[in-house]
Amino acid sequence: MNNQSIFEAYPRNDASLLIPLLQNIQTEFGYLPEDQLEKVAEHIGIPLSRVYGVATFYNQFRLKPLGKYVIRVCRGTACHVKGSLDILRILESELGIKAGETTKDFMFSIETVACIGACSIAPVIVINDEYFGGLTPKSIQKLIKKFKDKG
Amino acid sequence: MKDFLDILNRKHMDFKVTPDLFMDIIHESPDITLPAQTAQELREYKSRLTLEKTDKPAVIVGMGTCGLANGAQGVYDTFKEELEKRGIEAELISTGCVGYCAEEVIVDIKLPGYPRLSYARVTPKDVSNLIETTLINHEPVRDKVLGVYHEKSEKRWENLPVINNIPFFKIQQKVVLENCGIIDPENIDQYIVRGGYKGLSRVLKNMSPEDVIEDMLKAGLRGRGGGGFKTGMKWKFARQSEGDKKYLICNADEGDPGAFMDRAILEGDPHRVVEGMVIAAYAIGASEGYIYCRAEYPLAIRRLRKTLADAEKYGLLGDNILNSGFSFKLKIKEGAGAFVCGEETALINSIEGNRGMPRPRPPYPTTEGLWGKPTVINNVETFANVPVIIRRGADWYASIGTATSKGTKIFALSGKVKNVGLVEVPMGTTLRQIVFDVGGGIPDGRRFKAVQIGGPSGGALPESVIDTAIDYENLKEIGAMMGSGGLVVMDETTCMVDLAKYFMTFIMSESCGKCIPCREGTKRLYETLERLTRSYKNENDPEEALLRFQGMVYLERLAKVITTTSLCGLGQTAANPVLSTLHYFRDEYEAHLYERKCPAGVCKELLTYKIDTDKCTGCTLCATKCPVDAIVGERKKAHYIISDKCTRCGQCMMNCNFNAIYVE
């Protein structure tokens, strides 16, 4: 789907379509590029500041592109009491980035999520669409090495 | 494959089956006579749907998110491959979550003439054995058996436990979850054949909107999203509100960390929610509705889309529902990841395309909601209760539960407990029953310490109060709340100050920033907890110590200010985790404050790492791994950690192969 046809599916000047439109753009580009936000403002007929306000309010939206592997670390309560903070810290030190950041080579991004509802295998992370549960400080190091080697 | 529509829309029928008749025929209304051939075909199709009389075996794989996370897709694919390879004719069905997450992947096998047999912890490697032993030789694989369903059948599985008798299921009462893990959620006929849409059909035919509301009031159904407001009252207010247009919204923005019951319902029995919504829409007079679902639940959203399309095809949704003249359109809105959108007015703002910030109430949404029109918002579990109330009667429903809280409640049991899973019990069950009888207690021989109920808005309850019968009022009295029903169990290795800090981190980042008590107050609470749980370079710095003590002194007062002055439910309950841990576990706070120690051994910076000289072999691994060179020692001799240099990163302990490093 090219850029133009994304917009075509959304009638102009309907503010209730702002979030679905942004979601659609993000699915297409992987993030929300600045020029697209300007187009959205023009299309919906609202100031760019409002588009920016919405885009930065919701956790789902990103203004920067993500890495090839997006690691989502579950920080739900069950994962927390089973040591997900340690898992996150190890990931951060292994990859040299903080949660919410992307490595310079665009290989890895780390994100935290409130709860992915897979509490039975806590602590759990999701790399792209694959679940890895029951992690320990040792197994997470091995896992990351595997992904680093895979490239 | 043929479905109900195909069977009943035959040319040879001498009358046209209108949608309302259609439901009557399926649910066997005695005054309709069908041509013999059609009746026969219908009977056969129905028994095939319920798997009561099958001519070929059926394999049913639990494929909710938790099943999938445990590898259900691989199991399903292997079954498919193996069955094809061996040329075995069997039906392979995917279902939702039966609730016993700890035992996933769960696979049920139903052989003709036998009751349904449930296997636990199935991996792709087990598949060929299961096919060989059970499908071909009609023998159970005993070490994999979870249990047998209680069903009438010609043959029996000998000496196997009945599912309802195993501890995890024994005290559960499945009302809302009755179909979850049993039916194929993507097949509307499987829902209908089990009494689905019967309630809706009855409502549209025989009941006025006021009757429906009266029924809800009589049943005593209360909102399952947390607040516990009477559902019937909410509907009544909306019904009485003036407006040319009214809206109905299903809140499926299940953001509470540790709660996943709504996800399980949407993934396992989505038609139930839609039926509940259409009944509600009829009661309040809404013509349009939304299901606001978290984007983090892609499977639920995918199934909902199919559900809506199928319901429309059957005339159960859209224009002129079941030929009654009543119309209701339903759309799905994907959330974009904001916890505060679980708050009803914030959710309305989000649907309108704004930032999800709450509005002051009153006016309540029932008078002025979405686009200024009267709007009712209920959560998934609430709607899922509605059809069964109509079908089995308000009196029946009101007979379950306690004096003030009726029906059942689903809890998501997780954390340090043996049987993690979804638990549906009547209101009035005690927390002890859930944690110890259903949950099987604490693993690894550790001791129970607390159970956190109601997520970030709830509280942590210690052993002294877990014999309380759960209902809305009792929980409030002991400093917690029902919330959405997350139950996270904690043992002695959980630090309660750290837990409070964890929730504060969460609330702080999820606060929308509109009102000051919540935006700034939660930040100050967090800072106080951070000071308690961290050690600063100069531990004896008087100013640092002063701030630490001052924070503790004001902690309770600040918490109360946030509670009483915040705009919405998120802020008003934000301090609950702090208040409840402070109330029940004050000694732990004091240990952090005065002794600068973490009794549970969680707050890293307050720990001292030491080496057990008897266990240390002098392999030097820890010394090489230590990023700050805080470990000294000669090869093949016991090592030593220099406490002043140590940053408590834990690398040494993690890497030691001899368990020689411990903390104090």
Q: Is residue A132 part of a domain?
A: yes
Looking at the structure, tell me whether residues A80 and A145 fall in a common domain: yes
Lowest average pLDDT, out of B9-18, B102-111, B523-532, goes to B9-18
Task: Report the topology of domain B408-494.
Answer: Ubiquitin-like (UB roll) (3.10.20)
Question: Which of A17, A34, A57 lies at the terminal end of a domain, its last residue?
Answer: A57
Instruction: Provide mean pLDDT across the span A109-137.
Output: 88
Chain A residues whose CB is inside 8 A of the B254 CB are 117
Looking at the structure, tell me whether residues A81 and A121 fall in a common domain: yes
Lowest average pLDDT, out of A43-47, B579-583, B609-613, goes to B609-613
CATH architecture of the domain with range B608-663: 2-Layer Sandwich (3.30)
pLDDT at B13: 54
Cβ contacts of B658-662, under 8 Å, gap ≥ 24? B658/B615, B658/B616, B658/B617, B658/B619, B659/B615, B660/B611, B660/B612, B660/B615, B660/B616, B660/B617, B661/B609, B661/B610, B661/B611, B661/B612, B661/B622, B662/B609, B662/B610, B662/B611, B662/B612
Chain A residues whose CB is inside 8 A of the B502 CB are 77, 80
pLDDT at B259: 87
The pLDDT tens digits for B423-455 are 999 999 999 999 999 999 999 999 999 999 988
pLDDT at B26: 83
B residues 137..176 contacting A (CB < 8 A): none
User: CA nearest B176: which of B465, B423, B508?
Assistant: B423
pLDDT at B639: 93
Of A23, A57, A116, the CB nearest to B296: A116
Question: What tokens were used for B353?
Answer: 């395309």
Taking an 8 Å cut-off on Cβ atoms, the answer to whether A124 and B104 are in contact is no
Looking at the structure, tell me whether residues A81 and A117 fall in a common domain: yes
The pLDDT tens digits for B236-248 are 999 999 989 999 9
The pLDDT tens digits for B102-145 are 898 999 999 999 999 999 999 999 999 999 999 999 999 999 99
The pLDDT tens digits for B336-373 are 988 999 999 999 999 999 999 999 999 999 999 999 99
Number of domains making up chain A: 2
Of A15, A61, A80, the CB nearest to B502: A80
Establish if A121 touches chain B: CB-CB under 8 angstroms: yes
Taking an 8 Å cut-off on Cβ atoms, the answer to whether A60 and B336 are in contact is yes
Residue B229 has pLDDT above 90, yes or no: yes
Q: Is residue A50 part of a domain?
A: yes
Substitution target in A80, A91, A138, A140 with the highest count of B β-carbons within 10 Å is A80
Substitution target in B293, B355, B410, B495 with the highest count of A β-carbons within 10 Å is B355
Please report, for the domain that includes residue A78, its CATH number: 3.40.30.10
Rounded Cα distance, B255 and B151, in Å? 38
Establish if A59 touches chain B: CB-CB under 8 angstroms: yes
Residue A107 distance to chain B (closest CA, Å): 22
The pLDDT tens digits for B337-347 are 889 999 999 99
Chain A residues whose CB is inside 8 A of the B350 CB are 19
Residue A57 distance to chain B (closest CA, Å): 6
Looking at the structure, tell me whether residues A126 and A82 fall in a common domain: yes
What are the strands, taking DSSP E only, across B227-379? Answer: 247-252, 288-293, 329-334, 375-379
Looking at the structure, tell me whether residues A24 and A94 fall in a common domain: no
* Residue extents of the structural domains in chain B: 4-49, 58-169, 188-398, 408-494, 497-595, 608-663
Looking at the structure, tell me whether residues A75 and A134 fall in a common domain: yes
Residue A75 distance to chain B (closest CA, Å): 8
Taking an 8 Å cut-off on Cβ atoms, the answer to whether B512 and A82 are in contact is no
Instruction: Provide mean pLDDT across the span B582-593.
Output: 95
**DSSP-derived 3-state class of residue B241:** coil
Residue type, B187: N
Q: Is residue A48 part of a domain?
A: yes
Q: Is residue A62 part of a domain?
A: no
Residue B295 distance to chain A (closest CA, Å): 8
Alpha-carbon distances, residue B329 vs B152, B307, B309, B476 (angstroms): 41, 13, 11, 38
B residues 594..623 contacting A (CB < 8 A): none
Q: Enter the CATH code of domain B497-595.
A: 1.20.1440.230
Of B263, B414, B654, the CB nearest to A137: B654
The pLDDT tens digits for A13-51 are 999 999 999 999 999 998 999 999 999 999 999 999 999
Taking an 8 Å cut-off on Cβ atoms, the answer to whether A78 and B488 are in contact is yes
CATH architecture of the domain with range B58-169: 3-Layer(aba) Sandwich (3.40)
pLDDT grade for B647, boundaries at 50, 70 and 90: confident
**DSSP-derived 3-state class of residue B527:** helix
Average pLDDT, chain A: 91
Of B101, B351, B490, the CB nearest to A119: B101
Average pLDDT, chain B: 91
Looking at the structure, tell me whether residues A116 and A141 fall in a common domain: yes
The pLDDT tens digits for B275-289 are 999 999 999 999 999
Establish if B292 touches chain A: CB-CB under 8 angstroms: no
Establish if B660 touches chain A: CB-CB under 8 angstroms: no
Looking at the structure, tell me whether residues A74 and A136 fall in a common domain: yes
Residue A3 has pLDDT above 80, yes or no: no
pLDDT at A2: 54
User: Which residue of A lies nearest to B64 if distances are taken between CA atoms?
Assistant: A118
Looking at the structure, tell me whether residues A115 and A139 fall in a common domain: yes
pLDDT at A116: 81
Residue B302 has pLDDT above 80, yes or no: yes
Q: Is residue A91 part of a domain?
A: yes
Of A17, A59, A81, the CB nearest to B490: A81
ipTM: 0.90
Instruction: Provide mean pLDDT across the span B58-81.
Output: 92
pLDDT at B14: 53
Looking at the structure, tell me whether residues A73 and A53 fall in a common domain: no
Chain B residues whose CB is inside 8 A of the A113 CB are 296
pLDDT at A52: 96
Residue B512 has pLDDT above 50, yes or no: yes
Taking an 8 Å cut-off on Cβ atoms, the answer to whether B414 and A124 are in contact is no
Looking at the structure, tell me whether residues A114 and A138 fall in a common domain: yes
CATH architecture of the domain with range B188-398: 3-Layer(aba) Sandwich (3.40)
pLDDT at B427: 96
Tally A–B CB contacts below 8 A.
131
pLDDT at B31: 67
Residue B479 has pLDDT above 60, yes or no: yes
Residue B449 distance to chain A (closest CA, Å): 12
Q: What is the dihedral of CA B136, B140, B146, B149, to 10 degrees?
A: 80
**Contact status, residue A106 vs residue A117, Cβ threshold 8 Å:** no
Looking at the structure, tell me whether residues A73 and A110 fall in a common domain: yes
Residue bearing the bigger pLDDT, B541 or B322: B322
Taking an 8 Å cut-off on Cβ atoms, the answer to whether B420 and A119 are in contact is yes
The pLDDT tens digits for B256-280 are 888 889 999 999 999 999 999 999 9
DSSP summary character for residue B353: T
Chain B residues whose CB is inside 8 A of the A22 CB are 336
Rounded to 5 degrees, φ, ψ at B416 are -85, 70
Chain A residues whose CB is inside 8 A of the B421 CB are 120
User: CA nearest B614: which of B663, B664, B661, B656?
Assistant: B661
pLDDT at B332: 96
Element (H, E) at A55: helix A48-57
Taking an 8 Å cut-off on Cβ atoms, the answer to whether A58 and B356 are in contact is yes
Name the residue range of residue A81's domain: 69-150
Residue A113 distance to chain B (closest CA, Å): 9
Instruction: Provide mean pLDDT across the span B596-614.
Output: 89
Taking an 8 Å cut-off on Cβ atoms, the answer to whether A61 and B455 are in contact is no
Q: Is residue A89 part of a domain?
A: yes
pLDDT grade for B17, boundaries at 50, 70 and 90: low
Residue bearing the bigger pLDDT, A112 or B538: A112
User: CA nearest A123: which of A50, A89, A70, A73?
Assistant: A73
Residue A129 distance to chain B (closest CA, Å): 10
Rounded to 5 degrees, φ, ψ at B448 are -65, 140
pLDDT at A1: 47
